Chain A
Amino acid sequence: MAVTLTVNGRTQQVEADPETPLLYVLRDHLELNGAKYGCGIGQCGSCTVMVDGEAVLSCVTPVLLLEGRRVTTVEGLGTLEKPGPMQQAFIEEQAAQCGYCIPGMMMRAQALLQADPSANEAAIRAHLEPNLCRCGTHMRIIKAVMRAGEIMRQNPQSGGAS
């Protein structure tokens, strides 16, 4: 069966059962490997992507729910040559150790900052609570998200993901 999905601004047909979790479609069909498989039951946040600007756990989201919705993955935030503010901030703060949780962290943080670029540290901590990091990189992650907020505030056009 074919499902129609809009991912990172591109609308495409995917041959997949509508019950398939979005994460599998992203990784196996569209070869977007940014979102990670962690727990598979919505408890760790490493599969987080954005749907219409809201952070969503792609491992527990069947694609049948996504008709006409806009999905954004970490690949949609920028490119290697031209990283988006969130990516740039994570690079500048070197906010990754093993890196497995980072795409999920970035996407949940992106959803927060797109809605409120001036979110303070308390808001960032509360918002990122569902996302786990086993390396203990949290302090750098928070710093990076604060920096991403600064970049977005200085250049309001820069923050929007495709």
Chain B
Amino acid sequence: MTLLRIVLGLVVILAIGTAAFIGYAWHSRLDPIDPPAKASLDAKLLARGAELAAIGNCNVCHTAPNGEAFAGGLGIPTPFGTIYSTNITPDPETGIGRWSEEAFSRAMRKGVDREGRHLYPAFPYDHFTLVSDEDNRALYAFLMTRKSVSAKSPANQLPFPFNVRMLLAGWKALFFREGPYLPEPGRPAEWNRGRYLAEGLGHCGACHTPRNRLGAEISDQHFAGAEIENWTAYAIDSGSPAPLPWDAESLAFYLRHGWHDRHGVSRGPMAPVTANLGAASEADVKAIAAYVAEVMGRPSKERLAQGEAALAAARQEREAAPLRRTGETGNGAGEAIFVSACQGCHDGRRPPPFGGLNLHLSTAVNAPNAQNIINVTLYGLPAARGEPSAMMPAYRGVLNENQLVALLDYMRERFSRQPAWTDTRERVSSTLRGERKVPVYRMDGTTHAPPETSMRTAPWP
């Protein structure tokens, strides 16, 4: 009798819990609308929306390789399965043409689609929730005036239980804090603007903050660096591996132009980010740079001295005769490859973006692993289409595993004060075998306007 009571009690508690969860997880369906007439939207609002969409990097995930801009269909690999980006053009059937502004704002703020279904956080609403109503209005106007494209995205490939969207309510309860952004009083307006953009629409942390096993950003490792798409997103906090410390000015230049003569060029998944930021408002990019520079913190005297030493070493090499083999590192094979294949461009006589960076100044050589140099060496930096850009030839067909490992060890020893990498051979070997799939990005937009189509030359696996 007692047992029965306990069981009954548990059932009741479970039922109440389930009902409460459903109540928490349930969102209403918002009524469909007829797509708004383009002429009904204010031109100034549209222009603002274009700048904001550039900061949001919307086109990068919502455009498939060789696909139409914003028409979705890009497969995004996650540890849980592949999620396909959606069509956010105003097509009424396959896009968001039937979404009201309210539905759009709700998706940004709460991560729920017009039908009331929870969205996967591959759509970074954990950041977008901070976006203000005013900016959402501008983004909505911008997207609703894009070319309407009829394109249905493939169905997500997620095994049970990840295909149950209701469970995302649980994820949200654990990790999601709803916005909008509240300015921190006592801070300068530019800092608040920069933080609002970097943490919100810009979603820098989506790549630069490591994630936990459930795919949520680890809040106490904010901007500590992570690996994404088999590219390393460097730490952009006090642990930044850049030999020459960044400041607000150099960051702003880099973010707007995609290169900096003392830091190198943006490449991999960062290439489209800087290409987009070239179309954002200058004041907004400056604010982002000011905020990120503040997160990086003022460099210590020691770091500043290291930066000066790196600059001096680069200057000396630029002015000296080309390196010959000296054998001083004890890695004769690596040195011979560097001297004969790399230094012709990387001696720094011609600075980035059209010449190679002197590697004393290279963040990649100082990074915690060799992956970014492996990627760039094997796949190169494919030139932009129809405009001048940085570029580097690919060495995939030439360098074998031993040669590349010797070269990387030499570069690390010669150009960095950091200890030798420990996992270089495994990374080289798995990349050469194609087990580490590396999406390659063209250098479009590193000097001029951003492209309307995807810069990926290879689709995600």
- Which chain A residues have a beta carbon within 8 Å of chain B's beta carbons? 18-21, 41-43, 50-52, 54-57, 60-62, 64-66, 111, 122, 126, 129-130
Closest to A64 in B: B336
For residue B391, CB closer than 8 A to chain A, the reply is yes
A64 touches B345 (CB 8 A): no
Query: A residues within 8 A CB of B341?
Result: 60-62, 65
Query: A residues within 8 A CB of B66?
Result: 122
A52 and B398 CA atoms in complex are apart in Å by: 9
A19 touches B398 (CB 8 A): no
B340 touches A41 (CB 8 A): no
B337 touches A43 (CB 8 A): no
Question: Given contacts A42-B393, A56-B397, are A19 and B336 in contact (CB under 8 A)?
Answer: yes
A140 and B15 CA atoms in complex are apart in Å by: 72
Complex A-B: 12 CB contacts under 8 Å: A19-B340, A42-B392, A54-B398, A60-B341, A62-B337, A64-B336, A64-B337, A65-B337, A65-B399, A66-B398, A122-B66, A130-B394
CB A24 to nearest CB in B, in angstroms, measures 12
CB A73 to nearest CB in B, in angstroms, measures 14
For residue B344, CB closer than 8 A to chain A, the reply is yes
Within 8 A of A (CB), among B369-409: 382-383, 391-394, 396-399, 403
B393 touches A54 (CB 8 A): no
Query: B residues within 8 A CB of A60?
Result: 341, 344, 393
A43 touches B383 (CB 8 A): yes
CB B302 to nearest CB in A, in angstroms, measures 37
Closest to B333 in A: A64
Query: B residues within 8 A CB of A56?
Result: 397-398
Which of A65, A122, A129 sits near B403, CB closer than 8 Å? A65
Query: B residues within 8 A CB of A126?
Result: 457
A51 touches B336 (CB 8 A): no
A41 touches B336 (CB 8 A): no
B336 touches A54 (CB 8 A): no
Within 8 A of A (CB), among B326-352: 336-337, 339-341, 344-345
CB A133 to nearest CB in B, in angstroms, measures 14
B396 touches A62 (CB 8 A): no
A5 and B368 CA atoms in complex are apart in Å by: 37
A65 and B66 CA atoms in complex are apart in Å by: 35
